Amino acid sequence: MTAWCANQKPNHFLKVLFMFSVYFNYTAMLFPFLLSMLRLIPLYKPFNHDKLCARIVRISTPLIFIYPFLFCFPLVVALGECRQLQGSYQFGAIYIYYDRSLFNLKQAITLFLNVIFWFLVSTVTNGILYAKLRKLRKTTSVKLQRAELSLTFLTFSMLSAYITNLAFVVFFIFWPATSAYLVALRPYGNDCDFVLVPWLFYFTHPIFKQNRQSRASPATF
């Protein structure tokens, strides 16, 4: 990879590789907020929540994939290039970046602002949801309480992706030499987010507990 990059002049192919990584960072920021919103609607609109949730999903799904282009469009004219990693890495340690973007707009700044905004919005919606669920605990069944608690763990676990991205962007802006080491740790942080969410959902939601118990119980004749 290092030898191949060393022979590459700045080109659009390298830019596309970088652009894809940034693009999916933006899309991942919106999913925790969408999930918390879909959980709030049945609590405040219990009689027509199915229509409202279906409408929100129908509208928000294409918007989630269009939204990143509001910040990625300056990369359309940019050129990607391979650069030497900072820090105490040996010679040949490289990363793919870009140069000559439109308006000279830095993706680190827009990523930082997006992470802060969506993290705060998702935290507020989850806080409202948690407060509403506490009021309903006395009037709902134990099974429903456990299901809602499981979904609460699920939405809060999604917030870990914001923390991972925020730490990386902050270090990249203020301490670029140190951020080179976070590049190696960042994939593990993202993997923890992807693995933790389905694990929490599987081990805490009562519907999966019933399925495990039914499979474990002996057959009767």
Contacts of 35 (CB under 8 A, 6+ apart): 154, 155, 158
The fold of the 2-208 domain, in CATH, is: Rhopdopsin 7-helix transmembrane proteins (1.20.1070)
Given a cut of 60, whether residue 3 has pLDDT beyond it is yes
Measured distance CA(109)–CA(103) in Å, rounded:
13
Q: Are 169 and 117 in contact (CB under 8 A)?
A: no
pLDDT value of residue 220: 45
The model's pLDDT over 171-202, given as tens digits with 9 standing for 90+, comes to 888 888 777 777 777 777 667 667 777 787 77
The model's pLDDT over 76-111, given as tens digits with 9 standing for 90+, comes to 999 999 888 777 777 777 888 888 888 888 888 899
pLDDT value of residue 174: 86
The model's pLDDT over 21-38, given as tens digits with 9 standing for 90+, comes to 889 888 888 888 888 888
**Strand 94-99 vs strand 79-84: parallel, antiparallel, or unpaired?**
antiparallel
Closest CA to 187 of 154, 165, 207, 171: 165
pLDDT-derived band of residue 68, with 50, 70 and 90 as boundaries? very high
98 - beta bridge partners? Answer: 80
The model carries a pTM of 0.76
